């Protein structure tokens, strides 16, 4: 089912760079925040954030968002995407929302990520 689901699906790619931050507090205006009881992780736009005031920070990510609603019954969507990206040597950071999924790749791996997704017959749309 996942192969059929991926064919022709769109991923929207944000034009701005993002950072993944380990913080000791919640950060305002984060794209995503994860509090798991051990740490706070935030995904933030680089242009609106100073990494000097946090525990750890990784910069230089591009954000891909699946453009559509993913049914909870869909099996293997992220596995198929991550396998294709792994085949190109691309590491990902996945963030799932209620209705859809997002993932970040390092800027240096951007072209390889696009190639891998296009090989799955996905459509990549860059934010204007």
Q: What is the CATH number of the domain that holds 98?
A: 3.30.2130.10
pLDDT, one tens digit per residue, over 67-113 is 988 888 888 889 999 999 999 999 999 999 999 999 999 999 999 99
How many structural domains comprise the chain?
1
The pTM of this model reads 0.90
- Is residue 2 very low, low, confident or very high in pLDDT (cuts 50, 70, 90)? very low
Place of tokens 């913080």: 23
The terminus-to-terminus CA distance of the chain in angstroms comes to 32
DSSP string covering 75-89: -SHHHHHHHHHHHTT
> What sign does the CA torsion over 40, 45, 51, 57 have?
positive
Distance, in Å, from the CA atom of 39 to the CA atom of 9, rounded to the nearest integer, reads: 34
Domain holding 97, by residue range, is 2-126
């Amino acid at each position: 089912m996942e192969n059929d689901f991926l064919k022709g699906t769109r991923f929207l790619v944000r034009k701005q760079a993002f950072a993944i931050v380990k913080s000791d507090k919640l950060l305002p205006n984060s794209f995503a925040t994860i509090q798991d009881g051990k740490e706070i992780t935030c995904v933030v736009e680089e242009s609106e954030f100073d990494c000097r005031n946090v525990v750890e920070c990784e910069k230089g990510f591009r954000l891909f968002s699946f453009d559509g609603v993913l049914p909870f019954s869909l099996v293997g969507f992220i596995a198929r995407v991550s396998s294709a990206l792994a085949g190109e040597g691309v590491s990902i950071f996945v963030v799932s929302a209620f209705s859809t999924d997002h993932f970040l790749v390092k800027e240096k791996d951007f072209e390889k990520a696009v190639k891998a997704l296009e090989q799955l017959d996905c459509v990549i749309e860059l934010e204007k």
